[in-house]
Amino acid sequence: MRMSQLYAPTLKEDPADAEIASHRLLLRAGMIRKTASGVYTFLPLGYRVLSKIEGIVREEMDATGAQEIMMPALQPAELWHESGRWDDYGPELMRLVDRHDHGFCLGPTHEELITALVRNELRSYKQLPCSLYQIQVKFRDEIRPRFGLLRSREFIMKDAYSFHADQASLQKTYDDMSVAYGNICERCGLEYRPVEADSGQIGGKVTTEFMALAEAGEAELVYCTCGYAANTEAGACLARPTCYEVPALEKISTPGVHTIEELAQFLDIPESSTVKALSGRGDDGVLTVMFVPGDHELNEIKAGRAVPGFALLTDEEMEAAGLHKGSMGPVGLPEGTRVVADASLQAVPQWVVGANEDGFHYVGARLGEDFKVDTWDDLCIVKPGDSCPDCGLPLEGARGIEVSQVFQLGDKYSVAMGATFADENGEEKPFIMGCYGVGVSRTLAAVVEQHNDEHGIMWPLSVAPAHVCVIPLTVGDELVQPAAERVARELAALGLEVVIDDRDERAGVKFADADLIGWPLQIVVGKRGLAEGNVEVKLRRTGEKKSVPLATLAEMMT
């Protein structure tokens, strides 16, 4: 690569609307350009980095046994109607209509497409498990596209989907994928933390997010020395699609009612309903009771897990919180609050009831008036300082960038879309599914977020646009120029990726650009050094400079 020909227009000034380091530096280093809000072009250097990250992702996916495919970004609306997500997904889904009036969307994710793909051709348990993946462009009409590649409307994702005959098989692939995701972060040079998370619009119960630790990250994390870590998912409860409005407060006299069962009887709640206690904060004595129709189970829900902030209290926990077994403490839901039933709940609670006086209960009690918690957020979010659900120690806080996420989907899509296989006994069963996403372009930005200084980017060797930049101090000089060209050729012959800054520019300009672009190694070739048979080697990360004899340079580089 020759800098004189490279399309890498660097900028001296910080672009006005770039708030964070990765956005600013990727623009300044001539790696990306904005095309529209949340839509970016990758220039040659940015694209080289992107391709390297893709390469790492591909190797790690192939190692799990997943097979690469390529699905269309353009997806027919019918499939989304089948899964029910055409209505559920909301305005983030980019919808369009073709000339024949057929509805389509630009894929934000590919569960519908892949389920439709395999449902007629993956027929027998003998073909399972099966994992397929693609590296492809995704579209999400984000309400606030910002921070450059971190939250864009068109971005590159690696998405994988796995199909299984049973839960044990899904668990195995989920674990393998989780290992692969950790490897991807490590190989890209990211300091990261896997955290328990909410499954959002993808659905499912068990899910882990991989967070690149960074102050600029939009996600708030809590973690504990015991190993527990979770996304606090600020606002996640409110954003979930299935909601239930708490009615106006109604105080009812319930003489002699002490248990949930008695309350259910008193309120005439059908026996078929599951009676479950959910609490915002057991230690605050705040308890919300939800009665869920039918035989739906709530027992997947734990504090800071499937639904952050809600706890299904055990008898011991209730006792510790000063609550009688089966009785209710003060209730905490504001009037008009949308109580949320996430996918793991599979049903909207029909009655939300609580009490703060003996003999009295409230239906739809008001936040802040009827008990101590001040805001809905308090009820909903696990915060630093809260006790760890695993060991009870106070939780620490950090910020992170969600670079990837793995999900156990279960049979959500296979049931909705009729995707079945024949088991050993010839019986038709829905596939058990998993899905696994890596934000490839977001990972690129996260790497810059973690590896930069006041001069520019400091690429880890594994994803750098090239390994070495050779900088002749005087272009056209009859000694310096040929010596630099020779060094570049020799290093390239060793298998290193080499760029030579053969531009007729002042040394200061070349040094500044080299630091800004962030080549891991710089080799400066100048007249004075050459006279003694030396070049100068600079490590971008430490700024360390060393005079190295030309004769030993190649040896040093291997």
Helical axes 440-450 vs 44-63, angle rounded to 10°: 110
Q: 216 touches which of ligand ATP, Mg ion, none (CB within 5 to 8 A by kind)?
A: none
Q: Residue type for 103, please? A: G
- Other beta carbons within 10 angstroms of residue 219's beta carbon come to 19
- CB 386 to ligand ATP: min, Å: 21
Least distance to Mg ion, CB of residue 268, Å: 40
Give 475-500 as a DSSP string: TT-TTHHHHHHHHHHHHHHTT--EEE
Stretch that binds ligand ATP, among 148-156, 183-191, 392-400, 418-426 (CB under 6 A): 148-156
Cis bond before residue 293 (omega within 30° of 0): no
Q: Which is nearer to ligand ATP, 190 or 365 (CB)?
A: 190
Query: Would you call 548 helix, strand, or coil by DSSP?
Result: strand
Indicate which single residue of 155, 371, 413, 519 sits in contact with ligand ATP (rule: CB under 6 A): 155
3-state helix, strand, coil in the chain (%, to 5): 25, 30, 45
Minimum distance, C-beta of residue 52 to ligand ATP, in the bound complex (Å):
17
Q: Which is nearer to ligand ATP, 174 or 519 (CB)?
A: 174
Q: Which is nearer to ligand ATP, 199 or 254 (CB)?
A: 199
**Cα–Cα distance, 501 to 495 (Å, whole number):** 19
**Could you tell me the smallest distance in angstroms from the CB atom of residue 234 to Mg ion?**
11
Task: Report 168-207 residues binding ligand ATP (CB under 6 A).
Answer: 200, 202
Identify which of 522, 519, 552, 549 has the alpha carbon closest to the alpha carbon of residue 535: 549
Binding residues for Mg ion (CB under 5 A): 402, 405
Minimal distance in Å, beta carbon 209 to Mg ion? 6
In the set 24, 119, 140, 164, which binds ligand ATP (CB under 6 A)? 140
The encoded tokens of residue 396 equal: 């620490």
Residue 86: which of 174, 187, 3, 201 has the closest Cα?
A: 201
Q: What CA–CA distance (Å, rounded) separates 319 from 181?
A: 40
* Contact status: 404 vs ligand ATP (CB under 6 A): yes
Residue among 402 and 449 whose Cβ is closer to Mg ion:
402
Per the DSSP assignment, residues forming a β-bridge with 158 are: 135, 438
Query: Least CB distance from residue 134 to ligand ATP, whole Å?
Result: 13
Q: With respect to ligand ATP, which residue has the nearer C-beta, 184 or 321?
A: 184
Identify what 246 binds: Mg ion, ligand ATP, none; CB under 5 to 8 Å per kind: none
Kindly write out the interface string for residues 95-114 of this chain, putting x where it contacts ligand ATP by CB under 6 A and - elsewhere.
--------------x-----
Provide the 3-class DSSP secondary structure of residue 99.
coil
H helices of 361-434, where?
376-380, 412-416
CB of 147 to ligand ATP, least distance (A): 9
In what helix (H) or strand (E) does residue 154 lie, and over which residues does it extend?
strand 154-164
Pairwise CA distance, residues 412 & 200, whole Å: 14
Q: Which residues between 432 and 451 bind ligand ATP (CB under 6 A)?
A: 437, 439, 441-442
Query: Taking the complex as a whole, how short is the minimal distance between the CB of residue 197 and ligand ATP, in angstroms?
Result: 8
192, interface contact from Mg ion, ligand ATP, none, CB < 5-8 Å by kind:
none
Closer CB to ligand ATP, residue 333 or residue 438? 438
The 3-class secondary structure across 369-389, one letter per residue, is: CCCCCCCHHHHHCCCCCCECC
Binding test (CB under 6 A) with ligand ATP, winner from 22, 134, 152, 279: 152
Stretch of residues binding ligand ATP (CB under 6 A), selected from 274-282, 287-295, 398-406, 420-428: 398-406
Q: Which residues pair with 220 in a beta bridge?
A: 399
Closest approach, Cβ 333 to Mg ion, in A, equals 25
Interatomic CA distance for residues 269 and 261, integer angstroms = 10
Strands (DSSP E) contained in 177-238 are 192-196, 206-213, 219-223, 229-231
User: Identity (one letter) of the amino acid at 553?
Assistant: L
Only one residue has tokens 């957020």, namely: 377
Shortest spacing between CB 424 and ligand ATP, in angstroms: 34
* Burial of 349 per CB tally in 10 Å (0-12, 13-18, 19+): buried
**Binding flag, residue 211, ligand ATP (CB under 6 A):** no
| Residue 202 contact partner, candidates ligand ATP, Mg ion, none, CB within 5 to 8 A by sort of partner | ligand ATP
- Residue (89 or 244) nearer to Mg ion, CB: 89
Query: With CB cut-offs between 5 and 8 Å by kind, which of Mg ion, ligand ATP, none does residue 142 bind?
Result: ligand ATP
Kindly state the tokens that stand for 510: 């070349």
408 touches ligand ATP (CB under 6 A): no
Mark the segment that binds ligand ATP (CB under 6 A) among 21-29, 44-52, 383-391, 400-408.
400-408
The residues binding ligand ATP (CB under 6 A) are: 109, 140, 142, 151-152, 155, 157, 200, 202, 402-405, 437, 439, 441-442
